[in-house]
């Protein structure tokens, strides 16, 4: 498949995928973490159906890196905000702390097993440990929100989980920045920055471009010009930082964070970026899926198993801490911990970024681990999260038992009918909706 054809196909996919995802709540399908496109990519990739060839994939490496950095920009712009309010500092710390624990536990376990079963040198072992840690850190907020909104959960536990999952995004990004400083670079492009200087440069470029973006965005009232400003600063930030051998993803994350923090028009900036999210994310997920392979040159299976086990252990620990901090007696910490397993776009993005940057078996393993986390989290996470929220009394049991709760539009229609027509008996009335449910549930995971 020619690169141009592939690009056209990806744009078409972005179009149809966006339409599909927008309607998923109405039709009652779609995965909570939104990673079904990842599986599409795996299927059509060179290792399975071969609809996308390896050369075509390779030719898109640069563009894919830009797409991933753009996703990081969006994540950065939203970072620290949940449901229209700032996440409290303590909860930010909790989210970051738990994600860090997950990094250490999974990274150490994967590194140890790799040391035992492979002949990787110390640098590759460290990169592998850091990469596996990066893709194991987050609990995707998409899945958490999917469950919370779909089952109309409300209460301190859902709020805590929502806040903590917003906060943990910074950890994998930081890991990627560290990996970029350690990863070997293409000859003359590389600079021999010491690690701390590379990190400072990453933050510096991101902050400078974020401040520039915010300042220009605030003085520009025209939406079309604002597009130019955001796209221009974003591309320049990722291009310049990558040219210097820094992490484009970390740079744009800092840029998004800075821009959203400094801009007086934060909501407009966030809204503008959000419109691009699906259009960028869906093709990026497909490409990530197409890159996935099962390395056969070394025993990678034990590493994947250990990484998954390590992550499960870390999330169980997180569940215990959540339970303690809220003193929720009715909730089993194991249930809660397993409910924190969903991994989604950020994990896959991090894995994919490692695969693109490292271009070795180490990168392939990290991506394979990320995809495994996404699949395991998809199967286990939402079920246990729902169970935990129900145990905490934050989901009414009638709603929780409904396999596909009635979409809000249908309920709204029924409501109007009730208002117009003969009164229904109380048992036939649809459940009351909260204000947040009056729009399409799942229309926008944020």
Partner 1 sequence: MSALEATQSKSASARLVQAAALVVTFGLLLTATRLAPAEAGVVGTVAGLGFLLLAGTLTSELIEALGIPHLTGYLLAGVLAGPDVLALIDRATLAQLGPVNTLALSLIALAGGAELHIELLRSTARSLAWASLLQHSLVMMASVAAFIALAPFTPFADLRPASLWGVALLWGAVAATRSPAALLGIISQLRPKGPLTTFSIAFVMLSDLLCIVIVAFTMALVRPLFDASAIFSFNDIRQLVRELVGSVALGGAVGLALSIYLKLFGKNRLLVLLALGVGLAELLRYIQFDALLAFLVAGFFVRNFSEQGPKLLEAVQRTGVIVFVIFFAVAGAKIELALLAKVGGVVLALCAVRFATTLLAARASSKLAADEPVLRRWGWSALISQAGFTLGITMVVARAFPSIADAFTTLAIAAVAINETIGPVLFKIGLDRAGESGAGDASSERPPSSAL
Q: How far is the CB of 7 from partner 1 (least distance, A)?
A: 6
57-65, 140-148, 294-302, 360-368 -> range binding partner 1 (CB under 8 A) = 57-65
Given candidates 1, 26, 160, 236, which one binds partner 1 under the rule CB under 8 A?
Answer: 236
Q: Does 73 bind partner 1 (CB under 8 A)?
A: no
Footprint of partner 1 on residues 103-162 (CB under 8 A)?
A: none
Shorter beta-carbon distance to partner 1: residue 65 or 128:
65
Shorter beta-carbon distance to partner 1: residue 291 or 323:
291
Given candidates 8, 58, 402, 438, which one binds partner 1 under the rule CB under 8 A?
Answer: 8
Given candidates 178, 238, 316, 354, which one binds partner 1 under the rule CB under 8 A?
Answer: 238
3-state secondary structure the chain: CCHHHHHHHHHHHHHHHHHHHHHHHHHCCCCCCCCHHHHHHHHHCCCCCCCCCHHHHHHCHHHHHHHHHHHHHHHHHHCCEECCEECCHHHHHHHHHHHHHHHHHHHHHHHHHHHHHCCCCHHHHHHHHHHHHHHHCCCCHHHHHHHHHHCCCCCHHHHHHHHHHHHCCHHHHHHHHHHHHHCCCCHHHCCCCCHHHHHHHHHHHHHHHHHHHHHHHHHCCCHHHHHHHHHHHHHHHHHHHHHCCCCHHHHHHHHHHHHHHHCCCHHHHHHHHHHHHHHHHHHHHHHHHHHCCCCCCCCCHHHHHHHHHHHHHHHHHHHHHHHHHHCCCCCCHHHHHHHCCCCCHHHHHHHHHHHHHHCCHHHHHHHHHHHHHHHHHHHHHHHHHHHHHHHCCCCCHHHHHCCCCCCHHHHHHHHHHHHHCCCCCHHHCCCCCCHHHCCCCCCCCC
Tokens representing 183?
């990863």
Q: How far is the CB of 445 from partner 1 (least distance, A)?
A: 15
Shorter beta-carbon distance to partner 1: residue 271 or 410:
271
Q: Whole-angstrom Cα distance, residue 395 to residue 161?
A: 14
Shorter beta-carbon distance to partner 1: residue 116 or 189:
189
Q: How far is the CB of 373 from partner 1 (least distance, A)?
A: 28
Shorter beta-carbon distance to partner 1: residue 9 or 97:
9
Shorter beta-carbon distance to partner 1: residue 154 or 443:
443
Contact characters 19-38, partner 1, x per CB under 8 A: x-------------------
Q: How far is the CB of 66 from partner 1 (least distance, A)?
A: 5
Q: Whole-angstrom Cα distance, residue 365 to residue 7?
A: 26
Q: Does 4 bind partner 1 (CB under 8 A)?
A: yes
Contact characters 184-203, partner 1, x per CB under 8 A: ---xxxxx------------
166-174, 265-273, 365-373, 427-435 -> range binding partner 1 (CB under 8 A) = 265-273
86-94, 133-141, 157-165, 240-248 -> range binding partner 1 (CB under 8 A) = 240-248
Given candidates 205, 250, 259, 345, which one binds partner 1 under the rule CB under 8 A?
Answer: 205
Do the beta carbons of residue 248 and residue 66 sit within 8 Å? yes
Q: Whole-angstrom Cα distance, residue 303 to residue 288?
A: 20
Q: Does 18 bind partner 1 (CB under 8 A)?
A: yes
Q: Whole-angstrom Cα distance, residue 131 to residue 128?
A: 5
Shorter beta-carbon distance to partner 1: residue 116 or 231:
231
Given candidates 135, 173, 244, 290, which one binds partner 1 under the rule CB under 8 A?
Answer: 244
Footprint of partner 1 on residues 213-232 (CB under 8 A)?
A: 215-216, 219-229, 231-232
Given candidates 14, 250, 367, 441, which one binds partner 1 under the rule CB under 8 A?
Answer: 14
10-18, 76-84, 111-119, 304-312 -> range binding partner 1 (CB under 8 A) = 10-18
Residues lying near partner 1 in the complex (CB under 8 A) are found at 2, 4-5, 7-8, 11-12, 14-15, 18-19, 61-63, 65-66, 187-191, 205, 208-209, 212, 215-216, 219-229, 231-240, 242-245, 268, 271-272, 275-276, 279
């Amino acid at each position: 498949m020619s690169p141009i054809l592939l690009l056209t196909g990806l744009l078409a996919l972005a179009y149809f995928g966006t339409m599909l995802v927008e309607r998923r709540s109405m039709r009652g399908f779609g995965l909570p973490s939104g990673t079904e496109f990842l599986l599409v990519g795996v299927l059509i990739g060179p290792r399975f159906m071969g609809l996308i060839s390896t050369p075509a994939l390779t030719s898109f490496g640069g563009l894919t890196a830009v797409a991933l950095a753009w996703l990081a920009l969006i994540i950065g712009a939203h970072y620290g905000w949940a449901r229209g309010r700032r996440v409290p500092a303590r909860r930010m710390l909790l989210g970051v702390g738990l994600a860090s624990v997950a990094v250490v536990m999974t990274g150490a376990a994967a590194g140890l097993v790799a040391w035992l079963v492979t002949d990787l040198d110390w640098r590759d072992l460290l990169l592998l440990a850091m990469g596996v840690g990066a893709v194991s850190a987050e609990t995707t907020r998409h899945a958490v929100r999917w469950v919370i909104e779909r089952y109309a959960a409300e209460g301190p536990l859902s709020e805590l989980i929502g806040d903590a999952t917003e906060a943990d995004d910074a950890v994998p990004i930081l890991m990627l920045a560290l990996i970029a400083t350690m990863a070997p670079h293409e000859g003359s492009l590389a600079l021999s920055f010491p690690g701390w200087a590379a990190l400072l440069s990453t933050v510096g470029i991101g902050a400078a471009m974020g401040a520039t973006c915010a300042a220009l965005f605030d003085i520009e009232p025209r939406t079309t010009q604002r597009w130019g400003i955001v796209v221009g600063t974003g591309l320049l930030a990722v291009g310049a930082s990558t040219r210097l051998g820094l992490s484009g993803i970390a740079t744009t994350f800092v840029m998004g964070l800075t821009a959203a923090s400094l801009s007086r028009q934060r909501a407009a900036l966030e809204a503008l970026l959000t419109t691009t999210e699906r259009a960028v994310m869906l093709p990026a997920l497909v490409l990530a899926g197409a890159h996935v392979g099962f390395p056969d040159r070394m025993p990678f299976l034990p590493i994947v198993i250990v990484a998954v086990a390590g992550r499960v252990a870390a999330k169980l620990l997180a569940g215990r801490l959540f339970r303690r901090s809220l003193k929720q007696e009715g909730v089993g910490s194991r249930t809660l911990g397993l409910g924190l397993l969903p991994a989604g776009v950020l994990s896959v993005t991090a894995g994919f970024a490692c695969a693109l940057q490292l271009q070795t078996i180490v990168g392939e393993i990290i991506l394979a681990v990320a995809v495994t986390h996404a699949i395991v989290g998809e199967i286990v996470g939402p079920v246990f999260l729902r169970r935990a929220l129900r145990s905490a009394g934050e989901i009414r049991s009638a709603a929780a038992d409904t396999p596909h709760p009635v979409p809000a539009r249908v309920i709204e229609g029924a409501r109007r009918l009730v208002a117009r027509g003969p009164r229904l008996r109380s048992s036939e009335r649809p459940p009351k909706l909260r204000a947040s449910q009056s729009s399409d549930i799942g229309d926008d995971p944020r």
